Structure 1
Amino acid sequence: MGHGIGPDAGFIEGDNGMDGTGRNVMTRSALMLMQSTFARVACEQPSPQALHALRASVDQARALPADAAWDRKAAAHAEFHHLLAEATGASGYALIARSIGGSLREMITLAGPAAEDLIIASRRRMLRHLACRDADGAAREMEDHMTRLSRQVLVACIPQMRAGHGSPDPASLPARTRTGRCGVGQMTTGARSSFSHAPGAAS
């Protein structure tokens, strides 16, 4: 998997590695590969307990009040990915999922509240694939979901980056997250550079 996995991993579009702050980062493609693998393997022998935990995770995320801080909701949505890895029954996959959790939380947080409907819809489709043991369908759904989520990150963040928003005062970050505005200041230096040069982000 390379050297881009760590407990404080961030999300970037470029290569795995270290950002300017010395924090580990992961690429979107690496996240997609790992998550689609978890989905495929989890379909082989999904236990009733694992399926129940995944359904409960979706229900809990949906049950959070509408005015809850988005970073709290993002963490709840990211928990589904952890449980999916645990559903594989492979302790190594579960360990990897926990180590890259920061990348997923950051990605969901940056996508903002507008991504919630697409997240919930994807979760429902994934649960159906798991119940039917449709490994190909589950892997494909995860890949499609990660692609849609990445596009939503661009939709949420590129306009502000084009407008020249720099890193805001740290004290302002929670409020920006609650309102669903792109937390540009929370992105790694590599992330800001990579998103700025992503397709469709030309000035």
Structure 2
Amino acid sequence: MAGSNEVDRALTRKTTTVATTPARARKPSARRLPAKTAEPVAKDRSQPRFAPIRTKRVFEEICEQVRREMAAGSLRPGDKLPAERELAAKLGVSRAAVREALRSLEIAGVVGLHKGARGGAFILKGDPDLVTRSIRDMFHLGRISLDNLTEARTLVMQLAMQLACERIRPTTVAALEKNVDRLTTLPVSGKASERVAISAEFYRLISQATDNTVMQVIIEALTDIVLQQVEESNIEFFPNLIAHRRRLVEYIATRQVDEAKREMTEHLQRLRRHLMRAERTAAENKTVRALAEEASQ
């Protein structure tokens, strides 16, 4: 029993020693800590930009619905819209709102309004003159400079020369030659408006020769505005204009693309210089008049 008691006392002393050993004296545990997961790196990106919400006016929503139906093919040129009363009932809006929407669509060239027993609102084919008016308005308001306008026309006409040479038809060549012949009948000191009218037809024929509707609209829009400046500036008749036109028609007819581009570019750059000079002269004269009026007061 004595030996057993000594063993018990020894175990008791060992247990007490372990229990009372300070924590700092204990051997650190070899337990592996879980690996830390790398936090995702935030990507650089701009913050969302929220714009104020603006409630559309009723007539604007009506216009958008008409345009959506056109885009979907439900409305085509020549189709008649429902009568004003019927359209108002379908949309759940007032007749005044429908009337305002139709006027807006008419101004935009989307619909044509006809009076009478067979009248109403009809979908139009689209008016290319709207492009001309829009560019002309921006030009007159100073949003588009004469320099930019003439530069753009030169670039467009270079592409037009390439398309015209590739797609020209004998009937168009004949029409261009006839146009140049008409130009030869005009006196050198004739009215600028007559030369402008013949030139407008000449460029219209070239635009048609491209066989590209978008090009036709752009060419005729830019040409119309530039020729208006030619008429207002009263630029003198270019002595070599007829020879230039004859060479150009020949190059197009024989599909000489590079020569046609060069001929057209040289002519338009010469015209550009004349127009820029006329613009500077007009600005200087305006300044002189303003100073004279100020001095006289």
Q: TM-score, normalised by structure 2?
A: 0.46
Match of 1:93 among 190, 194, 215: 215
- CA positional deviation for 1:35: 1.2
CA separation in 1, counterparts of 2:184 and 2:172? 19
Question: How far apart, CA to CA, are the structure 1 residues paired with 2:173 and 2:227?
Answer: 22
Structure 1, unaligned runs of 5 or more: 12-16, 168-203
Match of 2:180 in 1: 58
Q: In the alignment, which residue of structure 1 is the partner of 2:257?
A: 135
Paired residue for 1:49, among 171, 176, 183?
A: 171
Residue 163 to residue 104, structure 1, CA distance change in 2 (3 Å) = closer
Q: Is the 8 A contact 1:110 1:153 kept in 2?
A: no
Contact 1:61 1:76 in 2 (8 A): yes
Please report how far the alpha carbon of residue 149 of structure 1 lies from its aligned counterpart in structure 2 after TM superposition. Answer: 0.5
Residue 76 of structure 1 is matched in structure 2 by: 198
- Larger deviation: 43-52 or 89-98? 89-98
Q: Distance in 2 between matches of 1:149 and 1:7?
A: 20
- Of residues 79-88 and 92-101 in structure 1, the stretch that sits farther from structure 2 once superposed is 92-101
Distance 1:111 1:44, change over 3 A: farther
Q: Spell out, residue by residue over 1:56-100, the C-alpha distance to the aligned partner (whole angstroms, 9 max, x if none).
A: 111123323455421232121122111111112223322333333
Aligned partner of 1:149 among 271, 278, 281 = 271
Q: Which amino acid aligns with 1:39?
A: M
Pair 1:42–1:126, CA change in 2 (3 A): same
Per the alignment, residue 126 of structure 1 pairs with 248
Residues 19-62 of structure 1 show CA distances to partners (whole Å, capped at 9, x for unaligned) of 42899986111111111111111011321101111111111233
CA distance 1:131–1:21, change in 2 (3 Å): closer
> Would you say the 8 A contact 2:153–2:219 is kept in 1?
no
Alignment of 1:164-183 (within 5 A): 164=286
The residue identity in structure 1 corresponding to 2:176 is L
Cα-Cα RMSD: 3.1
Q: Is the 8 A contact 1:40 1:135 kept in 2?
A: yes
Determine whether 1:31 maps to 2:153.
yes
The number of equivalent residue pairs is 158
Q: Which has the larger radius of gyration?
A: 2
Task: State the TM-score, normalized to the length of structure 1.
Answer: 0.64
1:7-30: CA deviation from partner (whole Å, max 9, x where unpaired): 23449xxxxx45428999861111
Is contact 1:111–1:149 with CA below 8 Å preserved after alignment?
no
Provide the rounded CA distance (Å) in 2 between the counterparts of 1:78 and 1:166. Answer: 34
Residue 6 of structure 1 is matched in structure 2 by: 131
- Answer yes or no: is the 8 Å Cα contact 1:115–1:152 preserved in 2: no
